[in-house]
A and B are shown apart, each in its own frame.
Chain A
């Protein structure tokens, strides 16, 4: 079945540091890929997505590129802020699985001033 693996946290950074969160996936066919973010005390919200190979999703300074050859969708941000402290979830959706989302375990990111 479909699965998503992402790096375990917590990841602790200083403000203005570079952030990378690794995500790899296993899926049948050609899934769509997503990053969701959960701020403290809130539900998840969509951060960015990519629907086909070599697509780049971007939002709020975050970027991720759909790499079919390495089955990866790593999240990056060049200069993080304290307000980026959150839990980040990588997810995929495939037609073979009825378009249901499969989530990774989540990565907690803490940005210190």
Chain B
């Protein structure tokens, strides 16, 4: 089975902190994605990557950046966390059109 692992299930950070969310997949997938999930808004794409060192902006990239130094790892970075970034963050990798998701990280910014 494909495994997508997110490093933390819950995180609590303070406004202005730099936050790193880590994601690792074990199936050698080229495509990886970061989404945020908010009630009533569904999933919104933040950033995605089709290859190592390659990144593309999604629908809501403001306030975020990403890093993909190795194929299996895709990191989401909040340069200066703000309260409106409190959300559930979901990482995914894909094989053709099928996405495989991690369990998510619930981030609270106080």
User: A residues bordering B, Cβ < 8 Å?
Assistant: 4, 8, 32, 34, 36, 41-46, 49, 89, 93, 99-101, 103-106
Q: For the complex, give the distance between the alpha carbons of A23 and B47 in Å.
A: 25
Is B34 an interface position by the 8 A CB rule? no
Q: For the complex, give the distance between the alpha carbons of A72 and B104 in Å.
A: 29
Contacts of B99 in A (CB 8 A): 36, 44, 46, 101
Provided the pairs A43-B4, A49-B97 are in contact, do residues A105 and B41 lie with their beta carbons within 8 angstroms? yes
Number of B residues with CB within 8 Å of any CB on chain A: 22
- Nearest neighbor of B4 in chain A, beta-carbon distance: A43
> Which B87-110 residues have C-beta < 8 A from chain A?
90, 92, 97-104
Q: For the complex, give the distance between the alpha carbons of A63 and B92 in Å.
A: 24
User: B residues bordering A, Cβ < 8 Å?
Assistant: 4, 33, 35, 37, 40-45, 48, 58, 90, 92, 97-104
Number of A-B contacts (CB under 8 A): 50
- Nearest neighbor of A92 in chain B, beta-carbon distance: B97
Contacts of A104 in B (CB 8 A): 42
Provided the pairs A43-B90, A89-B42, A89-B43 are in contact, do residues A32 and B103 lie with their beta carbons within 8 angstroms? no
- In the complex the two chains form, is B40's CB within 8 Å of A8's CB? yes
- If A44-B99, A105-B40 are given as contacts, then 20 extra A-B residue pairs at C-beta distance below 8 Å, sorted by A number, are A8-B40, A32-B97, A34-B97, A36-B99, A41-B103, A42-B103, A43-B92, A44-B43, A44-B90, A44-B101, A45-B100, A89-B42, A93-B97, A101-B43, A101-B45, A103-B44, A105-B42, A106-B40, A106-B42, A106-B43
From DSSP, what is the main secondary structure of chain A's interface residues? strand
- In the complex the two chains form, is B40's CB within 8 Å of A43's CB? no
